[in-house]
Amino acid sequence: MNFIDEAFLEVKAGNGGAGACGFRREKFIPFGGPDGGDGGKGGDIIFKVNLNKNTLIDFRNTRVFAAKNGKTGAGQNMTGPAAPDLILDIPQGTIIYDDESNDILLDCCEIDQLYTVVKGGDGGQGNARFKTSRNRAPRKFTLGFEGEVRKIRLELRSLADVGLVGMPNAGKSTFLNTVSAAKPKIGSYPFTTLRPHLGTIQTSDSSYVIADIPGLIEGASEGAGLGTKFLKHISRTGLLLLFIDLYPDENHSTIDQIKALRGELKSYEEDLTQKEAWVVCNKIDLLNDEALDELKISIPKEVGKIGIKNVYFISAATGMGTKDLLNALTEEITNIKSDLA
């Protein structure tokens, strides 16, 4: 399935039905008076969170959605039937923007909650409502009101507790594959991950979600590579793991990788650099003991200068060090959730 995390739509609620102009006509009652009923209300357009949805692909080909109009009123003071609401399913974490003002209209996170985007017009009034002591047989009635129309933008932001950030081939997907049931594509070439992947870590008494996004490269915040397109998917996370390749090419030292990642996060959104961040140094299985011991001294010292206190050394491929990292993550996420409760 294609992963679509943005969609542009035009939504139009239904118009209200017109009021009716009618008069009571029964045997032996020649002047029964007005009995035209009101028109029915137009349908609203409503979005509903559906946990079975994880992409906005349903809106790729259909860009205009219109609810039905309310029905016209009838004689005998009968109100026209209201039109049914048009309910559209969306993934959890979808943000709805006004496409013209770019204002956030709704942040759709609650399961099964209904989010009304545009409201249908009220029905018009039938002539029975215009009867007065001076005008016993009014022929006046009103048309229904028009439904609201709006151009909107849907943006899907994944709901995760932990976000994985790193250069291409840093081992993020291998780590997620090792510690969760998620099965992201793994390969030894750049941009193996082409869409965000979510993995759930289940502990004895709790669970939390980790998001893996495509690798970042220098210039990502300006559109280079793929990572910038998906950075929004880690904007809701409480903790970032900066994945570092301990066996990089000669152009990207471990410290250079950390500085580049933080620079791209800052360029994209200042708030991302304010999040709690840990450094995860991967591929320790490719280093000899002497080289690894040196890095365990130098890297914490360097990252401490920029305010990062937690550094972990692991091998996502063999599982070395991952248990200690997961235990620390579980404790940290539990504390974060407790603070938010």
Q: How many domains does the chain have?
A: 2
* Structure token digits, residue 6: 């943005």
Same domain assignment for residues 194 and 74: no
Q: What is the CATH classification number for the domain harbouring 207?
A: 3.40.50.300
- The larger pLDDT score, comparing residue 256 to residue 102, is at 102
Residues whose CB is less than 8 angstroms from the CB of residue 32 and which lie 6 or more positions away in sequence, other chains included: 23, 24, 25, 26
Separation CA 310–CA 72 (nearest Å): 67
Same domain assignment for residues 131 and 192: no
Mean pLDDT of the chain: 84
Range of the domain at 59: 1-156
Asked whether residue 184 carries a pLDDT value surpassing 60, the answer given is no
Same domain assignment for residues 191 and 262: yes
- The larger pLDDT score, comparing residue 305 to residue 218, is at 305
Same domain assignment for residues 64 and 198: no
What is the side-by-side strand order in the sheet with 114-118?
86-90, 45-49, 114-118
Asked whether the beta carbons of 176 and 192 are under 8 A apart, the reply is no
Question: Regarding beta strands 94-98 and 104-108, do their DSSP bridges make them parallel or antiparallel, or are they unpaired?
Answer: antiparallel
Tens of pLDDT along 210-256?
888 766 655 544 444 444 566 777 788 889 999 998 876 555 677 88
Same domain assignment for residues 93 and 55: yes
- The larger pLDDT score, comparing residue 340 to residue 97, is at 97
List, in sequence order, every residue forming a beta bridge with 88; answer none if it has no partner: 47
Residue 333, Ramachandran bin (φ over 0: left; ψ between -120 and 50: alpha; else beta): alpha
Query: Minimal CA–CA distance to 248: which of 320, 166, 307?
Result: 166
From 122, 139, 156, give the residue that closes a domain: 156
From 89, 123, 156, give the residue that closes a domain: 156
Asked whether the beta carbons of 172 and 243 are under 8 A apart, the reply is yes
Tell me, what's the pLDDT at 249?
59
Sign of CA dihedral 230, 233, 235, 241: negative
Same domain assignment for residues 249 and 115: no
* Structure token digits, residue 56: 């906005």
Beta strands in 1-145 (DSSP E): 6-12, 45-49, 64-66, 86-90, 94-98, 104-108, 114-118
Tell me, what's the pLDDT at 172?
86
Asked whether the beta carbons of 245 and 258 are under 8 A apart, the reply is no
Residue burial 196-206, b: 16+ Cβ < 10 Å; e: rest: bbbbebeeeee
Tell me, what's the pLDDT at 258?
85
From 95, 124, 156, give the residue that closes a domain: 156
Residue 85, Ramachandran bin (φ over 0: left; ψ between -120 and 50: alpha; else beta): beta
Tens of pLDDT along 186-199?
333 333 444 677 78
Burial (CB count <10 Å: 0-12, 13-18, 19+), residue 101: exposed
Asked whether the beta carbons of 7 and 20 are under 8 A apart, the reply is no
Beta strands in 68-204 (DSSP E): 86-90, 94-98, 104-108, 114-118, 149-156, 162-166, 197-202
Separation CA 19–CA 124 (nearest Å): 5
Average the pLDDT over 81-88 and give the result. 97
DSSP assignment, residue 69?
P
